[in-house]
Structures are given as structure tokens and as C-alpha cells.
Structure 1
Amino acid sequence: METIETALRISYLINAHLRGTISDIEEQELQKWLTSKADNRAHFDSTYQQDILQQKMQDYQHVDKASVWRKTSDKIQNELEQQPKNKNLRQLFQKITTAAAAVLLLSLGTYYILLRQPDTQQQNEIAQTEIADLPAGTNRAILTLENGQSIDLSEQETGIVMNGESITYKDGSPILSRPEESQTLTLHTPKGGRYELTLSDGTKVWLNAASTLRYPARFNGQERRVQLDGEAYFEVAHQSNSTFKVASSVQEVSVLGTHFNVKAYTDEPLITTTLLEGSVRVINTAAQASSALLKPGQQSTLSSSGQLKVSTASTEDAIAWKENIFVFHHTGLQTILLELSRWYNFNIDIHTIPNNELYGEIPKDLPLSEVLKVLSDISGYRFKLIKDETTKEERRLLLINN
């Protein structure tokens, strides 16, 4: 199997050859690779004629490649700084152009994307299929009071604040006066929604799409407790005499004051907790003896079987959703499509999807059609939206070249 360094190098050479920018020395290097193995020439000849590449590059013209590549290159540069001995990879990285960035995103576990596309006839058939579009998610949430009253929160606002005496938007605009201190409130973001919340103790919460947070109008006593279904990032206000707890299905996170992210969707097999600052204790509530104390930069995963593991993690990746970026680093295609379904509000039968691991970063403000084009190129699969038989809306995503 080719190394990542070799794959990037050959991808660069092929791209330069087909764009007509390759040097004589680089052309010799490419020809040597093509003649080294029969498979190399076969893949090159059968899957990437020049007109196919030109059409693909035209498709990328309306994608914000500079933004995608800037974020990807920053991460690669950081990795290179930690590997000073890898001079060849550093030199190669410096040669890669912004225009080639999206083409060079790798699908881990495959040969490399430029040489593993579907055949030309299948591509032409798919190109004739009209793909329905969906806009990116936005600020949407519903606040529900204990008596059942629901309030659709403004999409022009980004969050709400619990002031004790009232509930307001972040800019001070009123929502509700004098909520009962003892009542439990529910903030829910639907698919395609996100919202921020400042609790009565000053703790800040960012709620991702398709998530629900249940919390008291005002905290009392030595414990501050909330219930999370979905994903949220917490910046907990420190109170030395009051523990802050986040409960989610079979897990509980206990802290005094810190920054962390919890991902606890019921349709995913793992509950993931990532610590950015301070310390947290993660407890498996289904087995009280199972717990772990996390340090900054560590991540715990709790499986449906009750296995609790701790590992080092990228905190930037864990909260990239909060910064409006999809980050897929060694991420299974099933997990990626679940995340997309929450942000773009569509349905998908995840059991029909292969779980290849992919690598890429995509801005979350793109419409779904552009995200699917990038995803198709880094996975080799094609997708289309159809009208759901129940809702009659274009809300179901299908894999069309299984």
C-alpha cells in the first residue's frame, strides 16, 4: 500500500501532468511510476482522461476552496512542525496549490482518490441526475416551559440568557418575565438548528443540531445538574461549593468549573467527552465502579457495552462544529452522514452506507449540494436526495452507486 507521502506526491504529479504544468524532471518521475507496475498505468488510463479532470475542476470553481484548504493546510503544517525530519513531505506540502486542495483530500484506507473513482460511464450517468439542494443550518431552537408552553426562538438571535428574574436574548431583548425558580426548562435545537444558552450561574452552553438540554430556571444547593441528549460544548462557571453535572443516558460528567464537549446522540454507539481546560470526572452510571478523570487534551469514549476508554484527542477537532466547520479525520462515512443529516435536516438509512474512513474539512455554511460534491470526491460514492414518501419533501439521502 502506498504511504500518505507517496500518495500525495503521485497525486500532485498526475494533477500537474493533466493541467500541463509539470516540469521535465517531474514528468520523468511520473513516467517511472507509471511503468513500475501495470496497475499504475491501468488506473491512470481508465479513470482519469484529461477531459474528466477538467470537468471536475470546473465543478470545484464555486466551492470556497481557499477556505477549505486554508484550514486543512494549517493542520498539516502543525503536524509537519512536529516532524522536522520529514523534509521530503515538507517540500511536497509547499508545492501543493490551492486549486488542487479539494482533489488531494485523501480517503484513508483506499489507494488514493485520484486513482479510485467510479468508471467514466457511471460518472456520466450520475452527472445527468439532478441533485436537490438544502441550505445549511442556522440559529433555530425551541424553549419549552414546565407547563408545556413552547416558545419558538428568533433565528435572528444567537442565544438566550437566564437572568433569574427573566429570560432574555443575548442582546437583552425580553422573552419571558419572572419564570418560576423551581421549574425545569427545556431548550431543543431541531435538525438544522443551533443555539447558545447562558445558565443562571453564568455557565455558557453551545447546543449543536438535534440536541436537547434540560435545566432548572435557577440552580440551588450544592449541585448544578443538567440533562443532555445530543451534543453541547460547556464553559462552566467555577463555584467551589457547587458541583456541575451533565447527565446523558448512561453517563455523568462531574466538574467544578471547566471547558469540555459532550457528544451523546442516541443514534451513535459512543458517548464522547473531550476536555479542553480544567478537569472532569466521567462516570458510567450503568456501572458505578467505572469512571475516569480526564486531563486537558484527553477524550473519553463510553460504548453501548459499557466500556470506558481514555485517549489523547484533538480538542480543535472536537469543537470544530462550534466554529462552523465539519472536520472528518479518520471518520467513518456513516458517522459523517449522520452529522450531515442533523445539520441539513434530511433522513438516511445508515445501514445501507459503507463505513469507509475519510479525511477532510468542509465549511458548514455551504449548501448540501456542494458538500456532497466534495464528499463524493473523497469517498468515491455518489448520492441523491429524493422525496420522502411520508412528508413528500426532498429529505431522504440515498447512496446511488452501492
Structure 2
Amino acid sequence: MDKELLINLINKYLSNQATADEEKFLFDYYDTLQKNELKWDEFLLGDENIAKTELYSKILQEIKARESASKRIIFLRSRWFVAASVALFLVVSSLLALYLRHNNSSLLAKNNALPVSKHTVAPGGNKALLTLANGSKITLDDAATGQLAKQSGVTITKAANGKLIYTIENAPSNSTGLAQQAYNTIETPRGGQYQVNLPDGSKVWLNAGSSLRFPTNFTGNLRSVELTGEAYFEVAKNAQKPFRVLSNSQVVEVLGTHFNISSYIDDSSVKTTLLEGSVKVLSTKSNQSKLLKPGQQSNINYSDNSIDIQTVDTEEVVAWKNGYFLFVDEDLKSIMSKLARWYNVDVEYTGNVDNLRFGGIVSRSRDLAQALKIIEQTGNVKTKIEGRRVTIMP
């Protein structure tokens, strides 16, 4: 498709002038682009994460400028993110090249030149501890790539990109003809994240301060794992063997789909967000259950165990898995809780911040001082970093 025509279509979409057919075309085109990874020219465009951060920052600034009525934020957000994503995948090269030609120092160059504060904390990284069925432990961030262990007919391998891969070599058996189930547990510390490929081909991304307990081979009629913290799942389809995730106060059951679960015990609720397919969510204490549609999020409150369903922006929910923090009209304590887990810091407040809400986007590869700038730029609060303690001053 001609880039100029596409830009015109995006502009029509953003200004509410696109027809129903044009909107459908744009959504379909976006889905197609999502499935095809385009190569990024780092020599011409610089760091991809920084470019993505700056482009989305511009979109968020535009949302704030247009958002005179706060009730419209959900509608505007989804509209702008679809358009931003299309622009990012297709026309970003042209836009950045044009910017470079007309500016002596580009926005990207300015960001790369940002001074690093003396009082800051480095971002988290691929860090995890793997506990095998026999009790032995492997620190994955220190382990060399290649085969790590072999157990119950399964080979455990660490890939060059840090991914943990389980490969079934042969079906385990014993003299009685029954398979003995062996379980592994992978844990990420605060300041860590990790990706694991399960024996059935399902993929799991673990966020900081999380753990996943799973069998080395899914036997029987059910694939069952246990989660604490947060994880994004891409479950391999198997209509004969449902996939079940047990987490704090809930059970999630699927046949094969993409979803995110956030079940940190220090949050007020457990949230499950569906990106595609279908999901059944069960509250283990109230025994209520709900079916989710793509774009919906269930929220089980720890205090009364009720299940609330709402439509959310999935880009915002899975931003952590894609390498950045994305906050849209989010309360300050929720933001700082996420930053505290990723940077492994403690947070204290010198005043009442209950009514403060912020929006912004920053790459998770940035140091803590740069991440805190999205909050300080509002002028409503100041921050101070001392060792691994962050003080928020209204």
C-alpha cells in the first residue's frame, strides 16, 4: 500500500472521519503487520526501543492535548494506539528520516545523550532461579547456554537469548506403567524477568518478583501450572487437554490462547487480561466464574472475591512484556509499585499522594532516574534516590 495513502487514512481515522470500511481495513492491516516482524535499521534509526518510546510519547502527548473531557480517554486511547502501531510498523522510517533531515540534533540523539544521574539504579534484566525436581538449583543468569539438565525424559536447555526450553526426548515410565510426575519451579527476583518454553510448546514470560511451578511433562488429561506474581502466556492449542493456571484466589482455564495474569499478593486484586481466544476465570473463594472475550480483563478483589469484568487497552497491560512501561491515567502508588519491582527498590512517601495520577511511557532498559522523569515532568512531585530507596515528595 502507498505510504502517503496510508498516512491519510490514519489521519482520517484519528479525526473520526474514516468510514466503517476504512476503519475495518486499518484494523485488518494492523493485525497483518503484527504477525510480520519487520527488520529495524539501527544504523539509520538508532535504538529501536528508544524510537518506540519517543513515538508513543508523542501519541500520549496528543491524547492529553485532545482530552479536554476525561470521560473520552478510553475511546481516544484505543483509537490513537491503533494508529500509532500502524505508523510504527510501516512509516516510522520515513518519519524519522524526515525528522533527521530537518533537525540538526534529532530527538533520538538528544535522548541518547541524556546524562546518567550519579544517584540512580540500573534496570532489571534476565534473572531467574530454576529449582529441579530433585531439589538442585540453577541460577539461570549465570548459567552458560546449552543443555542444563536432563530429567524424566526431558532435556532442559538455555538458548542464546536467555530463553529456557523444555524438550521431551521420550515418555517417562516405571515398572507399574504409570508416569511419575516431576515438577520444576522458575523464580524471578525483584529486578528480574525470564521466558520459558514449556514441554507442550506453550510460552511463558515471567515479570519481576514472580514464580511458575510446572511439570516437566504434561501427563493425564490436564495441563496445570501454578503462578505467583505476573506472567504472559501463549498457550499451545490442545482441545483434548485444557491448560489451567492456578494463582492467588483464582483458576484460569483455556484450550489455547494469549493472556496475561497479574496476581501479586501486595496488590489489591488479581487481574487476568485476554488478548485472543477465550478464557474461563474462576474465583476459588466465591466459586463464581466468568468467560472473557478478547480485550476484556477480569478483576478479582482480594477483600470480597467478587469478579468484575471490564474492557481494557491490552497494549497497556502487556507493555512490560514488550520492553517498556506504559501508564495511562494511573495512580502514583500503582506506578511506583511496578517500578519498585523492576528496579528492586523500596519506595516511601513524605505526604499524601492518593489523588495523584500520571501518564507516560519509558523503556524498561532505562535507568531508574530516567524512568522517574515521566513523573517529575508533571511538576506535581519530586523524587529522590538514595541507594535502593526512592522518596516521593508531593
Pick closer, same or farther for the CA change 1:181–1:262 going to 2, 3 Å. same
TM-score (norm 2): 0.65
Structure 1 residue 370: deviation in Å? 1.1
Residue 256 (structure 2) aligns with:
257
Structure 1 residue 291: deviation in Å? 1.1
Q: Percent identity?
A: 36
Residue 148 (structure 1) aligns with:
135
Structure 1 residue 73: deviation in Å? 3.4
Give a deviation string over 1:119-157, Cα, whole Å, max 9, x none: xxxxxxxxxxx8621111111111012333210003688
Separation in 2 of the partners of 1:192 and 1:345?
5
* Ranges in structure 2 where 5+ consecutive residues have no aligned partner: 1-48, 64-74, 81-98, 108-116, 173-178
TM-score (norm 1): 0.64
Pick closer, same or farther for the CA change 1:158–1:213 going to 2, 3 Å. farther
Separation in 1 of the partners of 2:269 and 2:343?
22
Separation in 2 of the partners of 1:213 and 1:225?
11
Pick closer, same or farther for the CA change 1:210–1:81 going to 2, 3 Å. closer
Structure 1 residue 308: deviation in Å? 0.8
Deviates more, 1:170-179 or 1:204-213: 170-179
Structure 1 residue 382: deviation in Å? 1.4
Residue 168 (structure 1) aligns with:
157
Give the residue type in structure 2 aligned to 1:73: K
Give a deviation string over 1:188-229, Cα, whole Å, max 9, x none: 011111110011111000011111111111111111111111
Give the residue type in structure 2 aligned to 1:364: R
Give a deviation string over 1:158-207, Cα, whole Å, max 9, x none: 99999952100134999999999622111001111111001111100001
CA contact (8 A) 2:164 2:197 kept: no
* Ranges in structure 1 where 5+ consecutive residues have no aligned partner: 1-63, 84-96, 102-129, 387-393
Structure 1 residue 351: deviation in Å? 9.5
CA contact (8 A) 1:161 1:170 kept: no
Q: Pairwise CA RMSD of aligned residues?
A: 3.7
Structure 1 residue 380: deviation in Å? 1.8
Residue 55 (structure 2) aligns with:
70
Pick closer, same or farther for the CA change 1:329–1:259 going to 2, 3 Å. same
CA contact (8 A) 1:383 1:398 kept: yes
Give secondary structure in 2 for the equivalent of 1:323.
Answer: coil
Give the residue type in structure 2 aligned to 1:168: T
1:79 aligns with 2:64: no
Residue 239 (structure 1) aligns with:
238
Structure 1 residue 69: deviation in Å? 3.1
Give the residue type in structure 1 aligned to 2:299: T
Residue 114 (structure 1) aligns with:
none
Pick closer, same or farther for the CA change 1:173–1:307 going to 2, 3 Å. closer
1:374 aligns with 2:363: no
Separation in 2 of the partners of 1:159 and 1:373?
40
Pick closer, same or farther for the CA change 1:173–1:298 going to 2, 3 Å. closer
Separation in 2 of the partners of 1:277 and 1:315?
10
CA contact (8 A) 1:187 1:214 kept: yes
Give secondary structure in 1 for the equivalent of 2:373.
Answer: helix
Separation in 2 of the partners of 1:300 and 1:333?
22
Give a deviation string over 1:291-315, Cα, whole Å, max 9, x none: 1100111111111121211111111
Give a deviation string over 1:222-272, Cα, whole Å, max 9, x none: 111111111100000111111111111111101011000001111110211
Give the residue type in structure 2 aligned to 1:69: E
Number of aligned residues: 291
Pick closer, same or farther for the CA change 1:228–1:157 going to 2, 3 Å. farther
Aligned counterpart for 2:300 among listed residues 285, 299, 302 = 302
CA contact (8 A) 1:181 1:217 kept: no
Separation in 2 of the partners of 1:291 and 1:278?
17
The 5-angstrom pairing of residues 91-240 of structure 1 reads 132-154=119-141, 164-171=153-160, 182-240=181-239
